[in-house]
Amino acid sequence: MTVDQAQTTPAPVIENAEAPAMVGPWKVVVLNDPVNLMSYVVLVFRKVFGYNESTARKHMLEVHEQGRSIVWCGLREQAEHFAFVLQQWHLTAILERNETD
């Protein structure tokens, strides 16, 4: 992965972006921080994942209220890509193995 790829890769087309299926071997998790604006976090989720407003807002509120939200699940390479881009947007994103998968 390169920075250029991360900056220019358009948001992927996610089937049923309103309620993406959270299945796959790797999870992308965003942790809460007290700094980033709620509107900024919603915007980032929409840009990076192509989520609609309500899905992005649901994940933002999970982060805000529960301290973390699983924002995407899938194959490792794509999970790494998403984690990188989220970190580029200065969200606290981590990768976790999906033990339930």
Partner 1 sequence: MKRIEVKLSLAVVAPLLDVVKSVGDSLHDDLAAPVQLEQIDDDLRNDWRDELIAAQNGDVANLLALFDSEFFSTGVVNLDEDNADAILRACAAVRLCLRQRHLRKVSDEDLEGSDILLEELPEDQRRAFMCYLFLATVQELVIEHLEPAEYTDGAQS
For residue 19, give the 3-state DSSP assignment. Answer: coil
Asked if residue 15 lies in contact with residue 87, where contact means CB atoms within 8 angstroms, the answer is no
User: Exposure pattern of 58-87 as b/e (b: 16+ CB <10 Å)?
Assistant: bbbebbeeeeebebbbbeeeebebbbbbbe
CB of 99 to partner 1, least distance (A): 13
CB of 15 to partner 1, least distance (A): 18
Nearer to partner 1, 7 or 16 (CB): 7
Residues that bind partner 1 (CB under 8 A): 1-3, 6-7, 33-40, 42-43, 46-47, 53, 56-57, 60, 80, 84, 87-90, 92, 94-97
CB of 54 to partner 1, least distance (A): 9
CB of 21 to partner 1, least distance (A): 22
Sign, CA torsion 39/89/36/72: positive
Nearer to partner 1, 20 or 83 (CB): 83
